[in-house]
Amino acid sequence: MSRQARLPATAIALALALLGPTRAAAQNRAGLEAELERLHTTLRIPSMSAAVVEGGTIVWVRHFGLKAVPGDPVRYPLGSLTQPFAAVLAMREAERGRLSLDTRVDRPDGVAVQIRQLLAHTAAGKPGARFVYSPDLYRLLGAPLERAAGATLPQALTAEVTRPLGLRQTVASAGTSASGGLESTVEDLARFAAGVERGAVLSAASTTELFRAPRGGAGRAFPCALGWFVQQVGGEQVRWQFGQDDHASGLLVNLPRRRLTFVVLARGNRLNAPFGLGSGDVRWSPAAYAFLSAWARVRVDYSEARHLMLEALVALSRGRAADGAALAKRASVIAPPLASADPVLLEAFARSGDPDLREMGRRMARRLLEADPDHPRVAFDLAVLNLEDGQADEARRLATGILAGREATPEIERAARELLRTRSQPTRAAGAWDRAALPPPRPRHAPARR
Let me know whether 291 and 359 are in one domain. Answer: no
Q: DSSP code of 293?
A: I
Q: Which of 327, 362, 324, 322 is nearest to 346 (CA)?
A: 362
List of residues 6+ apart from 264 with CB closer than 8 A: 36, 48, 49, 50, 51, 186, 250, 251, 271, 287
Let me know whether 232 and 356 are in one domain. Answer: no
Last residue of a domain, one of 271, 301, 331: 301
Q: Tell me if residue 116 falls in helix, strand or coil.
A: helix
Let me know whether 141 and 273 are in one domain. Answer: yes
Judge whether 201 lies within some domain. Answer: yes
CA distance 165 to 168: 9
Let me know whether 263 and 401 are in one domain. Answer: no
Judge whether 446 lies within some domain. Answer: no
Let me know whether 277 and 344 are in one domain. Answer: no
Let me know whether 89 and 205 are in one domain. Answer: yes
Judge whether 9 lies within some domain. Answer: no
Judge whether 20 lies within some domain. Answer: no
The 10s digit of each residue's pLDDT in 272-312 is 987 889 999 999 999 999 999 889 988 776 677 888 888 88
| Mean pLDDT score across all residues of the chain | 86
**pTM (two decimals):** 0.87
Q: Is the Cβ–Cβ distance between 148 and 162 less than 8 Å?
A: no
Q: DSSP code of 91?
A: H
The predicted pLDDT at position 398 comes to 93
Residue 245's φ and ψ, nearest 5 degrees, are -150, -170
- What is the tally of helices (H) and strands (E) in the chain? 19, 12
The 10s digit of each residue's pLDDT in 102-151 is 999 999 999 999 999 999 999 998 999 999 999 999 999 999 999 999 99
CA distance 17 to 388: 54
Domain of residue 409, residue span: 340-436
Let me know whether 277 and 374 are in one domain. Answer: no
CA distance 351 to 365: 13
Q: Which of 267, 273, 79 is nearest to 179 (CA)?
A: 79
- How many domains are there within the chain? 2
The 10s digit of each residue's pLDDT in 364-375 is 898 889 888 888
Judge whether 10 lies within some domain. Answer: no
Q: What's the CATH code of the domain at 363?
A: 1.25.40
Let me know whether 361 and 420 are in one domain. Answer: yes
The predicted pLDDT at position 23 comes to 55
Let me know whether 202 and 286 are in one domain. Answer: yes
Let me know whether 287 and 379 are in one domain. Answer: no
Q: Which of 374, 377, 419, 418 is nearest to 396 (CA)?
A: 419
Q: What's the CATH code of the domain at 88?
A: 3.40.710.10
Q: Is the Cβ–Cβ distance between 210 and 204 less than 8 Å?
A: no
Average pLDDT over residues 66-84: 90
Neighbour tally for 334: CB within 10 Å: 16
Judge whether 431 lies within some domain. Answer: yes
CA distance 365 to 384: 11
What letter represents residue 374's amino acid? D
Judge whether 315 lies within some domain. Answer: no
Judge whether 447 lies within some domain. Answer: no
